[in-house]
Structure 1
Amino acid sequence: MTFAELGLRAELLRALDDAGYTEPTAIQAQAIPTVLKGTDLLAGAQTGTGKTAGFTLPLLERLSQKELPAKGYRPVRALILTPTRELAAQVHESVRTYGKHLDLRSTVVFGGVSINPQMMTLRKGVDILVATPGRLLDLVQQNALKLDRIETLILDEADRMLDMGFIHDIKKVLKLVPAKKQTLLFSATFSDEIKALADKLLNSPELIEVAKRNTTAERITQRVHPVDRGRKRELLSYLIGDGDWRQVLVFTRTKHGANRLTEQLQQDGISAAAIHGNKSQGARTKALSDFKSGKVRTLVATDIAARGIDIDQLPYVVNYELPNVPEDYVHRIGRTGRAEREGVAVSLVCVDEHNFMRGIERLIKSDVEKVVIPGFEPDPSIRPEPIKMGGQKPAGRGKPGGRSNSRPGNSRPGGNNRRTEQPRARSRRA
């Protein structure tokens, strides 16, 4: 199948050709015809499946079917909500890339930067708005934006939005948009919370699921390197240097841990930058840009970045510290092995994290290969210690995977409370 067979206009096909895309992915082949029909959609797709183009292309097609005023104000007709600033910027970049030959206006708004330029752009009018929930509501409150002409509402990575505590903001947005509209909901997993949200949002939706729930991509090679907790940084530097790894995304549990590891890697002669919620938006944007361009060899990130980083041909993901929530492992390693390419996901696991690893293997229904690196054999005399994360109580070692019983959005054992990692409200707005 080709994109031309999906019913897209010549301007979109030319943009796809400019970008070097010739054949649609599975999610694109299924989602594009559904969106073009105007029906609601509930789509399940893991990261790296091409879902952004799956909703961006048909959205541009539908919006272009109506005659547009050459000059003057244009009301927002399509709203795309995303959980993080980085993801919002990347979705908007896709809108610009695919719509570059069309007479459509678009912009992106998120927190962490001045609101005034965003207000000025919106008051001139745009057709497509990509936004994080917090900043969107700030703009509405300041009368810079109205959502009463929305024809299409898209919730991208809805499961992460719920996990980060945005459900109340989403409900506020729903009161501002017309009842009659097309709604598209994309999620990596179909949890009970997602199903409940879909029941409220969607009208007789079509269901598309291109990957089984909580599975990891087959093209990702997963390995565990057992190592003592005190030698992780040494092993990481060895792996990067010995393997000549040129682009490595490394995950830590905490923001402080990310900063500390970044400094240690730099001391080892490995260029590195950190990206997390305490960094300014400018610093986060620069770190990601330097990493993509190859100026920085290693990007150290917390889980908040797992959904906000979209890098073509990213070859390596390293779990420097395992996540205490098993699903986050799937999101982390999903940064590699994208767009039908191969990837490697390495986890450095010390004796403290064995329960976390067992929880992950139960979730993905597979044992991950264990490879001991010569010279880094774990000391069998070292006993497990409680894992302290983010200044909270040590993560429980009694439960495999270390999961808490708290509801999504509440504090979890693991420190990085998702609602403080991504700013909302005035000081917490996305």
Structure 2
Amino acid sequence: MSEEKTKKPSKKKYYDNVSVGKRTKQVAYLVEDGDKASMFEYFIKNSDKKQSIVVARSKRRADELKEYLKTKDISAASIHGNHRVEQHEEAAKSFNSGELNILITTDMILQTLELNNIQTILNYDLPPQHEDYFNRLILVDGVGESICFVSPEEEGLLSILELRLKNEMPQEELEGFTPEVSDEVAHVVKDKKKKPRHRSQVVKKVKKKKAE
């Protein structure tokens, strides 16, 4: 029998949300919003993963996180809609070459960047639209991991993602991390002035989707 005939047919690879979710490592860390920056600092300092894309919910959050990391001697760049296209391209080039290890951005800009060699997508904030999470997830499809920092206000969003994934995301504790709200992060103070997302409202939407 010829070698050609004995070869097993290659398994077809599917790119729907459920398939990508099943073959990509995902972990959720539950954390207060005010502790996210210090948790991220601890995660980076104790991780062997070098090339990380961090996604924040706003331009301000991205800039604040970059400035916080700077005070901790961690080099990172933030890139978002306030920057020129040339700056976007330069940031992507630096990341792809390994010159830049941590790139902080938003969902809108992430979709426009040509990135490779991503080891970790760190979801600093969960997106209100589940489609944006899967756009993030596809970047590390089968080769990297997705880390989610989930505040109490975002637990309802996590539930919606799990419904879409048809799988419960493993929740772990970051060993050795001690929560400590820091005044060094501007968004911790500013966001307290905003009306928080009520988990009950989000859960109601989840239950409605289940009923449908």
TM-score, structure 2 length as denominator? 0.76
Q: Could you tell me which of 345, 357, 372 is aligned with 2:173? A: 372
One-letter code of the match for 1:241? K
Q: Secondary structure at the match of 1:335?
A: helix
One-letter code of the match for 1:354? E
CA shift, 1:310, in A, is 3.6
Unaligned stretches of 5+ residues in structure 2? 1-9, 181-189, 207-212
Q: Secondary structure at the match of 1:216?
A: helix
Tell me what 1:298 maps to.
102
1:244 and 2:48 aligned: yes
* Contact 1:359-1:401 within 8 A present in 2 as well: no
**Identical amino acids, percent of aligned pairs:** 27
The within-5 A match list for 1:17-96 is none
One-letter code of the match for 1:369? P
Tell me what 1:399 maps to.
202
Deviating above 4 A after TM superposition, structure 1's stretches of 4 or more consecutive aligned residues are: 391-396
Taking a change above 3 Å as real, the CA distance of residues 25 and 281 of structure 1, as seen in their structure-2 partners, is farther
Bigger Rg, which one? 1
Name the structure with the higher helix share: 2
Higher relative contact order, structure no. (Cα contacts within 8 Å, ≥ 6 residues apart)? 2
Q: Could you tell me which of 211, 222, 230 is aligned with 2:26? A: 222
Unaligned stretches of 5+ residues in structure 1? 1-23, 27-48, 50-209, 380-386, 404-430
Q: Could you tell me which of 236, 246, 269 is aligned with 2:73? A: 269
1:282 and 2:86 aligned: yes
Tell me what 2:185 maps to.
none
Taking a change above 3 Å as real, the CA distance of residues 256 and 402 of structure 1, as seen in their structure-2 partners, is farther
TM-score, structure 1 length as denominator? 0.39
Q: Could you tell me which of 222, 233, 258 is aligned with 2:62? A: 258
CA distance in 2, matches of 1:317, 1:363: 19
Q: Could you tell me which of 29, 35, 41 is aligned with 1:231? A: 35
* Contact 1:249-1:316 within 8 A present in 2 as well: yes
Taking a change above 3 Å as real, the CA distance of residues 276 and 259 of structure 1, as seen in their structure-2 partners, is same
CA distance in 2, matches of 1:393, 1:376: 28
1:356 and 2:188 aligned: no
CA distance in 1, matches of 2:109, 2:203: 25
* Contact 2:153-2:197 within 8 A present in 1 as well: no
CA shift, 1:280, in A, is 1.3
Deviates more, 1:307-316 or 1:343-352: 307-316
CA distance in 2, matches of 1:255, 1:215: 31
CA distance in 1, matches of 2:65, 2:107: 15
